[in-house]
Structures are given as C-alpha cells and as structure tokens.
C-alpha cells in the first residue's frame, strides 16, 4: 500500500460502469429517497465544452478531457466531505484511470496518486452493460460494444486500486434502489 494512500470513506458510495447502464437513473432515485449525490463529470464536461465549442471533448483532445474529469472528481470529493449523510458518486477518481486505459494511454502518475489518496467506500457498485436499456443521447454517442469496453476498463481500475465490486442486478429502478440500500445497511 503506497504511503500516501488514505483509508476508505465508508459514507462515500461510488456507482460506476459503462454508459447507458442505468447509473444516473439509479442515483436520481436515491436522491429522491433523501440521499446526497455528485454529478457525472464526463457528461457535464461534454455539455459545457459543446456549448462553448471548447477543446476538451473526447473526440478533440481526450487527454484534456481526462484532466478536466479528474479536476471535477476531486472537487466533487471535496464538496461531498461537507455532507453529514451518505453520498452517492456518479463515478469517481478511479474512473479516470479506467478512461486512460480505454483510450489506450498509460495512466499518468498523478492520476494514480489521486486514486490512491481520494478514497471511497471499499465496496463499489458496478452497473453492468444492459442492452435492453442502452441508448444514445446528445452526450452518449458510444456503441454498446464501447459501453462494454468502458465497463471492463473502469471496473478493472477499481479492482487494481483495492476496491470490491458489487454488481448491480439488471432489475427495475425500485429494486436496484432496494439492493443498494440493503447493501449499505440503510
């Protein structure tokens, strides 16, 4: 274990996975049940960069896109520290390492350092690829095959950083909410 690594924060719950697997919909339902949440970095950055015709889009500069996602995730982490109740993260810092792997680049040392320093609950919820709900929208342009590769890249990153993955069942949202709340003891 690296010297700079901190312990896991049990009230910080990450939900990760590929695009179109129901992560954000699940988090929206958890918010409706009274829990705090973070906003997914990638989607928000794509929306902002598209609005200003900025350079930090995955198709223009994937490295810059990754750096903005890292900055966003670090800010989300710091903001979550002010919450007295459990927080559900729509992805986390290790997702950035997964993104670098997905695009075929070496994970930069500072991303590894961030993933070791900014820790979440040891158990990370992973939304597996789900063809029946997968779809495209203004920001989600990936194919289902890319969604599967994204799932593999990000879950591999979480495993490598010492997290235990808990696969979300492919069930309707209310049942997913119950599954998550049961798993965290709420």
Q: In the sheet where 87-90 sits, what is the strand order? A: 36-37, 87-90, 12-17, 123-127, 164-167
Dump pLDDT digits (tens) for 8-25.
788 999 999 988 888 999
Which superfamily does 12-184 belong to? P-loop containing nucleotide triphosphate hydrolases (3.40.50.300)
Nearest Cα neighbor of 23 from 3, 39, 1 is 39
Dump pLDDT digits (tens) for 21-72.
889 999 999 999 999 999 999 889 999 999 999 999 999 999 999 999 999 9
Q: Please state the domain extents for the chain.
A: 12-184
Residue 4, pLDDT score: 45
Dump pLDDT digits (tens) for 96-105.
999 999 999 9
pLDDT band for position 133 (cuts 50, 70, 90): confident
Residue 50, pLDDT score: 93
CA pair distance 5, 114, nearest whole angstrom: 9
Residue 67, pLDDT score: 97
Backbone region of residue 20 per phi and psi (left: phi > 0; alpha: psi in -120 to 50; beta: other values): left
Own/partner contacts of 162-165, CB < 8 Å, gap of 24 or more, are 162/1, 162/122, 163/14, 163/94, 163/120, 163/122, 163/123, 163/124, 164/122, 164/123, 164/124, 165/123, 165/124, 165/125, 165/126
Instruction: Indicate whether 1 pLDDT > 80.
Output: no
């Amino acid at each position: 274990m690296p010297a700079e690594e901190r312990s896991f924060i049990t009230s910080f719950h990450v939900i990760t996975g590929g695009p179109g697997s129901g992560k954000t919909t699940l988090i929206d339902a958890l918010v409706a049940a009274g829990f705090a949440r973070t906003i997914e970095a990638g989607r928000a950055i794509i929306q902002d960069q598209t609005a200003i015709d900025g350079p930090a889009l995955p198709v223009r500069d994937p490295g810059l896109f990754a750096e903005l996602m890292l900055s966003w995730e670090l800010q989300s982490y710091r903001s979550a520290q002010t919450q007295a109740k459990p927080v559900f993260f729509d992805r986390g810092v290790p997702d950035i390492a997964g993104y670098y792997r997905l695009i075929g680049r070496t994970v930069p040392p500072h991303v590894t350092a961030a993933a070791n320093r900014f820790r979440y609950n040891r158990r990370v919820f992973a939304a597996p690829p789900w063809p029946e709900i997968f779809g495209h929208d203004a920001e989600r342009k990936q194919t289902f095959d890319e969604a599967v590769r994204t799932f593999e890249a990000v879950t591999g990153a979480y495993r490598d950083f010492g997290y235990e993955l808990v696969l979300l069942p492919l069930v309707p949202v209310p049942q997913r909410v119950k599954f998550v709340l049961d798993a965290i003891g709420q």
